[in-house]
Amino acid sequence: MLQLVSRCRSVSIQVGCREALALVRGLVILWALVFFLSLGSGYTELNFGDIWRQDSLTQTVVGEVRLPRALLATLLGGGLALAGGGIQGVFRNPLADPALIGISGGAALFAAIYIVFVSQTGFSLLGLSGSAFFGGLIATLLVLVIGGRQPDLSTILLAGIAINAICIAGVGLMSYLAPDQTLRSVSFWALGSFNHVGWAEVSVGLLVIPAMIRLISLSLVLDVLLLGDQEAAHLGVSVIPRRIEVILWSALITGISVSLVGIIAFVGLIVPHLVRMTFSAKHVVVLPFSAIIGGGLLVAADLFSRSLLAPVELPVGIVTTLLGAPVFVILVARWSKGLWL
């Protein structure tokens, strides 16, 4: 936001400054609507006035269950969408996504390994997040090595699909090895769910904020990287360190997200796309707007996942995939025809 404001002040190119701020305000209001709707809806229906009540039922339902859940969905939806925008920029590939290029799969595998082998001797949420982060990082490096350093669409995506398949198979293997009581928690990593979320998860989830801020501060560098490695170097960017940095921060966001709620696919792919198609392709717009829209979208997806077959809850990862996959197909079809807008 600060970046956007200062950018607005200095350069009045493109979308006018006032319009941009009005858009941000509109999007935040939209998010707030979904957020409060999410606090009110569920097995115990509460209207807007009710959610502020101080009785013990409301305090438990809203304060202990729905509020941390909606907050975490906001943080992780925003983080994932922003990381997706960053990954797409750094790979110069509008169809890249943390889940598609293996970060999520690697993170899920390492989370599963941690649960099965380490957590018997002492479980910690930070340890789980840390191992998911390293898993995501290793998967990304493998994809980069296999897919070559060509930022070509097909090689990176194919390498990502292969690594992802191996990781998901690994998660399956882990669930086979896991004793019964850990089985559910392992299998949930492959699907993604906010079912168990409390304040501990929210506090770990706050770690995505510094990563998001750093990525937004790299907006201009990401713009320049889109021109190509050589061009970026000629414009004074230290290409390799900056690229690794963006991958690291994105892997951190994805790793934290996967360790807390499992794999949530397509948010990171679809949201930055929508922003580029409707607003601007400049990262200083794409990243913050993606964060706001992604946050709102995931709160909505979570609300949907627990309302559709209430009182039964669907894993939210299934909802985002069912919504996102068709959009992805449309995007691929349009893109192969050279259409964008």
Partner 1 sequence: MLVLDQVGLEIKGRSILKDVRLELALGQHLAIMGPNGAGKSTLLGLIAGDSEVTSGCLTVFGKPPRAFLPLERAQRIAALSQSSELRFPFTVEEVIGLGRFPFKAKPVDAAIIVREVMNAFQLNAFAQRSMLSLSGGERQRVHLARAVAQIWSSPVPALLLLDEPFAALDIAHQVVLRRLLAEVLATQPVSIVSVVHDLGQATQGYDQVCLLTEQGDQLAFGSPSAVLTATHLSELYGITISEMRFTDGTPAGFGASPAAP
- Alpha helix stretches (DSSP H) within the chain: 2-10, 17-40, 56-58, 67-90, 103-113, 125-146, 153-177, 180-191, 199-205, 208-217, 219-225, 229-234, 239-261, 267-278, 283-307, 316-336
* Nearest-approach distance from CB 221 to partner 1, in angstroms: 8
Stretch that binds partner 1, among 12-20, 179-187, 306-314, 320-328 (CB under 8 A): 12-20
> Rounded CA gap, 136 and 253, in Å?
10
Stretch that binds partner 1, among 135-143, 176-184, 278-286, 288-296 (CB under 8 A): 278-286
Expressed in angstroms, the distance from the first to the final Cα of the chain is 26
Report the residue number, 64 or 231, with the smaller CB distance to partner 1: 231
Report the residue number, 69 or 282, with the smaller CB distance to partner 1: 282
* Nearest-approach distance from CB 139 to partner 1, in angstroms: 24
* Nearest-approach distance from CB 239 to partner 1, in angstroms: 9
What is the contact mask toward partner 1 in residues 201 to 240, using x (rule: CB under 8 A)?
-------------------x--xx-xxx-xx-xxxxxx--
* Nearest-approach distance from CB 10 to partner 1, in angstroms: 4
- Per rule CB under 8 A, is residue 94 in the interface with partner 1? yes
- Per rule CB under 8 A, is residue 17 in the interface with partner 1? no
- Per rule CB under 8 A, is residue 277 in the interface with partner 1? yes
Report the residue number, 11 or 206, with the smaller CB distance to partner 1: 11
Look at the block and give the residue holding tokens 């509020």: 67
Answer yes or no: are the C-beta atoms of 97 and 121 closer than 8 Å: no
> Rounded CA gap, 49 and 57, in Å?
15
Q: What is the signed CA dihedral for 104, 109, 110, 115, rounded to 10 degrees?
A: 120
Burial class (CB in 10 A: 0-12, 13-18, 19+), 341: exposed
- Per rule CB under 8 A, is residue 61 in the interface with partner 1? no
DSSP per-residue codes, 16-38: -HHHHHHHHHHHHHHHHHHHHHH
Among 13, 45, 47, 337, binds partner 1 (CB under 8 A): 13
Q: What is the signed CA dihedral for 321, 170, 259, 24, rounded to 10 degrees?
A: -30
- Per rule CB under 8 A, is residue 149 in the interface with partner 1? no
Name the token pair of 325.
Answer: 């996959």
What is the contact mask toward partner 1 in residues 104 to 143, using x (rule: CB under 8 A)?
----------------------------------------
- Residues at the site binding partner 1, with contacts judged by CB under 8 A: 7, 10-14, 92-94, 220, 223-224, 226-228, 230-231, 233-238, 276-277, 280-282, 338, 340-341
